[in-house]
Structure 1
Amino acid sequence: MTTIDAIILETPDPAAAEAFYAAAFDLKDRVRASASQAPTSGFRGYTMSLVVGQPSTVDSLVATALAAGATTLKPAKKSFWGYGAVVQDPFGTIWKIASSSKKNTEPDTRRIDEIVLLLGVSDVAVTKQFYADQGLSVAKSYGRKYVEFATANIKLALYGRRFAAKDAGVPIDGSGSHRLVIDSDAGTFTDPDGFAWNTAVATN
């Protein structure tokens, strides 16, 4: 199974970004920041999702994100699928915080059960095949609409770009750098939509 060690989010001010991730979500080393001045505008073609156990955890994480400087794209509310919200951090990354549960069943622990990187791509089938050729195993697939891969530590999923933007609550338009690097054991390559992968360096 492919392991995604970390998501590297590029920003002109990595120290401030690291401080935000720690204060808002306590993501430790699974999401890191690195310096970049690469031009970027509009929708960057991806979202980060934090999957949690219940609505109170969604509310808690949204509250700390907003207190740390994030802005609301979609306020927290119940839906057919559960309960969730979407915020954008001060550095441009979009975060979806969601639970499949609509009711609280225990005290809030702020525990994040899963981190998901959702890539909005131009052709789901083409990108699915590209990643299969890189050795990633498909866990779920719904035609040209949605794909999940069997990855450890951080989950990778594909969605059509238009649907990814709609789900995030932003216009589809965007250009320039994704400001994203995927650190993994899959190798170093760039996918058909320009998302960069880097070979993770082993640490003791």
Structure 2
Amino acid sequence: MTSITSLTLSASDGAASDFYRTALGPGTPVRTGAGAPGSGFRGFILGVDVATSAGVDLLHANALALGADDLKAPKKQLWGGYSGVVRGPDGTIVKLAATGKATADDDSAVTRTVLLLGVADVKATQRFYAEHGLTVAKSFGSKYVEFEPQDGAVTLALYKRAALAKDVGVAPEGTGGHGLVIGWDAAPATDPDGFELSPSPVRQP
């Protein structure tokens, strides 16, 4: 089965290069590389799950101290979850969410990294990834799909682009490239929404 092992974000300065490792911890599957992303909404967000609301608060505060912009302060959501949203120095939008599942020592330890793609046609993009070896874990028709992470470091999920932008409080319009290369253990490919996928068999330590 195919799995996604890393995410490489376009970043042009040292602050962005250091941000994700410092903000999310040394085990993060997020890397930075050369290149300039587009402007406005780039069609994806990075989801970061921790155990508790206190962990969300701590990661949120740390991210702001490291240069992130505050898009949504952490709070309890109508559906019962607890989350906040920041924008990293490179422009990547990061949603911090509590799972409600306690861990042994560190409330702010990242328990799951999720790549949420905003796509034009959820079913068409689902077929693309299924045909390339990813296994569907959850599916809600044309609204939301989540894939099994297998032994990879990243869970992939699909939303409609406008719905994803609304969820994090930004306009859905954007120009230029995504500023993202998805690393997986399969051949190079480009998905229906123009996201680049590249072989990445070795996980970032």
Aligned to 2:196: 196
Aligned to 1:93: 92
Structure with more strand by fraction:
1
Identical counterparts, % of pairs? 46
Residues 201, 140 of structure 1: CA spacing in aligned structure 2 closer, same or farther, 3 A cutoff? closer
Aligned to 1:145: 143
SS of structure 2 residue aligned to 1:162: helix
SS of structure 1 residue aligned to 2:111: strand
Residues 153, 17 of structure 1: CA spacing in aligned structure 2 closer, same or farther, 3 A cutoff? same
Deviation at 1:100, TM superposition (A): 3.5
Q: Runs in 1 of length 4+ with deviation above 6 angstroms?
A: 103-107
The one-letter code matched in structure 1 to 2:161 is R
Aligned partners of 2:42 and 2:174 also within 8 Å: yes
The one-letter code matched in structure 2 to 1:155 is T
SS of structure 2 residue aligned to 1:112: coil
Aligned pairs, how many? 201
Deviation at 1:82, TM superposition (A): 1.1
Aligned to 2:42: 44
Q: Where does structure 2 lack aligned partners over 5 or more consecutive residues? A: none
Aligned partners of 2:143 and 2:160 also within 8 Å: yes
Aligned partners of 2:3 and 2:134 also within 8 Å: no
Aligned partners of 1:25 and 1:64 also within 8 Å: no
Deviation at 1:36, TM superposition (A): 0.3
Question: Is 1:65 the equivalent of 2:63?
Answer: yes
Residue deviations 1:15-74, cap 9 Å, x none? 322211122221535100001035x11000000000111000000000100000001111
Q: Distance in 2 between matches of 1:181 and 1:4?
A: 11
Aligned to 2:25: 26
Q: Where does structure 1 lack aligned partners over 5 or more consecutive residues? A: none
Deviation at 1:186, TM superposition (A): 2.3
Q: TM-score, normalised by structure 2?
A: 0.91
The one-letter code matched in structure 1 to 2:40 is G
The one-letter code matched in structure 2 to 1:118 is L
Deviation at 1:132, TM superposition (A): 1.2
